[in-house]
Amino acid sequence: MTGVFFAGYPLDRASAKRSDVGFLAAAQVDPDARLLLLQGGKPFVAAPNGPRGPREIAWLSAGAAPSLAGTDATVLFLGLDAASAPHFAVEAPKDRDLAGDDGLLAGLGDFEELRGIGPMLTASDAALIGAAKAVVDWHARHGFCAVCGAKTEPASAGWKRTCPDCGAEHFPRVDPVAIMLPVKGERCLLGRQGRFPKGMYSALAGFVEPGETIAEACAREIAEEVGLTVIASRLVADQPWPFPSQLMIGLIAEVMDEAVTLDPEEIEETIWITREEARSLIHGPIEKGGARIWSPPPMAIAHTLLKAWAEG
Amino acid sequence: MTGVFFAGYPLDRASAKRSDVGFLAAAQVDPDARLLLLQGGKPFVAAPNGPRGPREIAWLSAGAAPSLAGTDATVLFLGLDAASAPHFAVEAPKDRDLAGDDGLLAGLGDFEELRGIGPMLTASDAALIGAAKAVVDWHARHGFCAVCGAKTEPASAGWKRTCPDCGAEHFPRVDPVAIMLPVKGERCLLGRQGRFPKGMYSALAGFVEPGETIAEACAREIAEEVGLTVIASRLVADQPWPFPSQLMIGLIAEVMDEAVTLDPEEIEETIWITREEARSLIHGPIEKGGARIWSPPPMAIAHTLLKAWAEG
């Protein structure tokens, strides 16, 4: 499997420690313990070389979590680094001005959209922010018990929620998605959804449903979206994708013919490109049929798939 | 990828039809429309050659759904067969005596546990029951909105729930799980959990967490459960597993050494077996160190993994 963005989590998740109350209490006030702060899902990052330069997590002291995010905030245990320093993440309430001129963190960094700064992060910072953002988003959308409707409570250092009424346990959700490049000989198919920016074409994708293998989901989505029949498919790479929390499973799928029948609800337009065009497209926009077309950046597994196919 | 049990869904899911109210209303009273009935998650099946023989879905008429399961029951659209006959599934309330001597369905079949009858089903019936059971179980545990706590309503022919209060949409959950066989040269490691039947050993497994690739989850679980370091892993097969709704992703993982350190919370005991022992074990119990040991049946992907490794 090929390397992908958002992979390469640099910490030991030390999941056995998540239920160790004594360890967690000590770890949160450990002077070496570091805190990743988020607000509205945006990580708090620094730009040491100015606004066009690389970003890095602006680590804070874990002991500051209550004053930054409130004493009720769920402090998520991210794990231990090689020196056994504990790392945490916490989401600050949206209405607090923390990074502004009068804020507690003025001058130390900014809250920035992960999608925007992705390419400016190191791989390990991207993996940490991705994991933290996915779990923080999940808490924000899972305050109530799906079984009985009661308010739930965070547990296991942020890796679980429990229902005090019915006893149900709820774990952060990860949705498996099949994402695939249909290919026929020396050509591959890209598609665009109506919501994509102008000129952007990507791989096809859809959620794996109950009762499906990955290859079955791949074949179904290709049949539904573009009306093509898959002969064979192979897994190329997989990627955790924190928008909000998918496991993207990337395939290259050989299809029977090239006559596309679009589902206009899903795909606005498709385009067959040659392997040579794909080799150009992974480096930037190309001209095709009088239009300028481009494909997702290296951060996205669609890029990994296109590159894997283009390079043979 | 190798063939697995619960794969091979025989219908066109025709997911665009799920929101087509006119189609669904007509389909449910179509004389050719067939209904898979479940009760407490157990499918209604027939045993045409007696209780030790094969089982098959005892298909009912879709028009009977309201009288069997109540007019409020969620009727799940399973898809269309090659002759375009619509197929549905519905869960009957637990307190109705349907298959008993005085029941509406007396003599037509019985509600039986899927785990028990799995090996007696055809592949396509197993795939249908697995998908239906996973979605029916999901409805049973998701009557309330995780976002706001209000009661939710089924939509999209049973493939969605919506919240009338906050507007949130909820989709059936599929949890990706990494399941893996650690191997070192000509030996592989099996483990047993305390809850396993006596003598049973299987592959190791754990949920993929937010921020992890499949290979990262595989390496983490092996490190956590048995203290071994993974050098390389490869995907062998994946399987939809309807207990309640996992996507099992099976790997063979080469580990650095054989010195196991158990996490007793997860694994009670491990055993290294040779490739020759594995070849025997896939056909039935073996004697090893004075004890009789056995491994999961062909229905489970653990068997697929063991067989793939045993046969080289």
Instruction: Read off the pLDDT band of B1 (50, 70, 90).
Output: very low
Cβ within 8 Å, pair B210-A151: no
What percent of chain A stands above pLDDT 90? 97
Question: Which residues of A fall within a CB distance of 8 Å from B265?
Answer: 16
Q: Given this model, what pLDDT does residue B289 score?
A: 87
Helix (H) or strand (E) holding B257: none
pLDDT at residue B2 tops 60: no
pLDDT for B79 equals 98
Confidence check: pLDDT of B24 > 70: yes
Check whether B21 has a pLDDT greater than 70: yes
The per-residue pLDDT for range A113-161, each reduced to its tens digit, is 999 999 999 999 999 999 999 999 999 999 999 999 999 999 999 999 9
CB–CB contact B214 A141 (8 Å): no
Residue that has been written with the tokens 């028009």 in this structure: B63
**Residue contact A224–B15, C-beta within 8 A:** yes
Instruction: Return the H-helix or E-strand segment holding B268.
Output: none
Contact A170 B128 (CB under 8 A): no
pLDDT band at residue A312 using 50, 70 and 90 as cut-offs: confident
Average pLDDT on A238-251 reads 98
Examine the predicted complex and report whether its ipTM is higher than 0.95: yes
A7: which DSSP letter? -
Q: What is the pLDDT of residue A289?
A: 87
Higher pLDDT, A312 or B131: B131
User: CB-based contact (8 Å) between B238 and chain A?
Assistant: yes
Give the mean model confidence (pLDDT) for residues B77-84: 98
Banded model confidence at residue B291, pLDDT cuts 50, 70, 90: very high
CB-based burial, B148-175: b 16+ in 10 Å, e otherwise: bbeebebebbbbbbbbeeeebebbbbbb
User: Do the chains contact at A135 and B9, CB–CB below 8 Å?
Assistant: no
In the predicted model, is pLDDT for residue B105 greater than 80? yes
A174 touches chain B (CB under 8 A): yes
**What is the reported pTM?**
0.97
Q: Which of B173, B247, B251 should we substitute to test contact with A (largest number of A Cβ atoms within 10 Å)?
A: B247
* Model pLDDT, residue A309: 98
Q: How confident is the model at residue A1 (pLDDT cuts 50, 70, 90)?
A: very low
Q: Using 50, 70 and 90 to split pLDDT, how confident is the model at B312?
A: confident
What is the pLDDT averaged over residues B19-37?
97
- Partner A contacted by B266 (CB < 8 A): no
- Matching residue, tokens 């498919």: A233
- Best probe of the B interface among A207, A212, A229, by most B CBs < 10 A, is A212
- Tell me the sheet residues that pair with B203: none
Q: Does A232 touch chain B (CB under 8 A)?
A: no
Q: What is the DSSP letter of B209?
A: P
Which residues lie below 8 Å from residue A301, measured CB to CB, with a gap of 6+?
A: A4, A179, A203, A237, A238, A239, A241, A248, A250
Tens of pLDDT, residues A81-97: 999 999 999 999 999 99
What is the DSSP track for A30-46? -TT-EEEEEETTEEEEE
